[in-house]
Amino acid sequence: MRYQGKVTNWNDDKGFGFVEPNGGGDRAFVHIKSFVRGSRRPVDGDEISYEMVKGSDGRYKAAKTRFTQDSKQRKKVHRRSQGYSFGFGDFITIGFCIFLAAVTALGKVPFQISGIYVIASLVAFFAYALDKSAAQKNRWRTKESTLHLFALVGGWPGAFYAQKILRHKSSKAEFKNVFWGSVVMNVGAFSWLLMEGGGRLLHSVIGL
């Protein structure tokens, strides 16, 4: 017999959570391995259908789990099938990169600063790629705090495009809020470097 319910308390780093059956009843433990092969990773609130089995420990577990094809899910699939979409985040990221290149060319900031952004962005992009691969294969994951640190030190342009191109961490609202907070802090620090006080600090540290 198949049941339908909503995913709750999902821990994406560990790959498990619970499902509350529609209409009430016993909630069941659900693991990422119980989903049909090739399914996307779930988030809290996702509607799923599943078979209820009772484990040797007496707990109910969801098996042969798949996402229900409600209208909300179909819209998500449709958006994914449309491919890359140019949004407000692209304007911010591309605009910043153009500005960074311009002030570097004009000698407003040393080229080492631009180098930090380039290297940090490449590291961030590959970190997202490795974490997505680990998530798909249920291997050790990169901590979200580490991904945010890469963004904070200047790798946020690479992290932004990793989220969009790889479709990784792009649906978690809490993660994205922290990510954009780190972007604001990084851009604020960069803006300060363009001021007199920041310029003096760069001169003393880099010796330019």
Please tell me the predicted confidence (pLDDT) of residue 110. Answer: 86
For residue range 31-42, what is the model confidence (pLDDT) as tens digits? 998 888 777 888
* 164 or 199: which leads in pLDDT: 164
CA end-to-end span of the chain: 72
- pLDDT band (50, 70, 90) for residue 71: very low
| Domains observed in the chain | 2-76 (2.40.50.140), 85-206 (no CATH)
For residue range 83-138, what is the model confidence (pLDDT) as tens digits? 567 889 999 999 999 999 999 999 888 888 999 999 999 999 999 999 988 887 77
Position 82 pLDDT exceeds 70? no
* Strand ranges inside the chain, DSSP E: 2-11, 16-21, 28-31, 47-54, 60-67
SS (H, E, C) 58-76: CCEEEEEEEECCCHHHHHH
Please tell me the predicted confidence (pLDDT) of residue 75. Answer: 56
Q: Is 157 helix (H, G, I), strand (E, B) or coil?
A: helix
60's tokens: 């109910």
Cα separation, 12 vs 74, in Å, equals: 22
Please tell me the predicted confidence (pLDDT) of residue 79. Answer: 55
Cα–Cα separations (whole angstroms), residue 107 to 7, 58, 120, 189: 53, 68, 21, 18
**Mean pLDDT, the chain, integer:** 86
Please tell me the predicted confidence (pLDDT) of residue 203. Answer: 64
Position 207 pLDDT exceeds 60? no
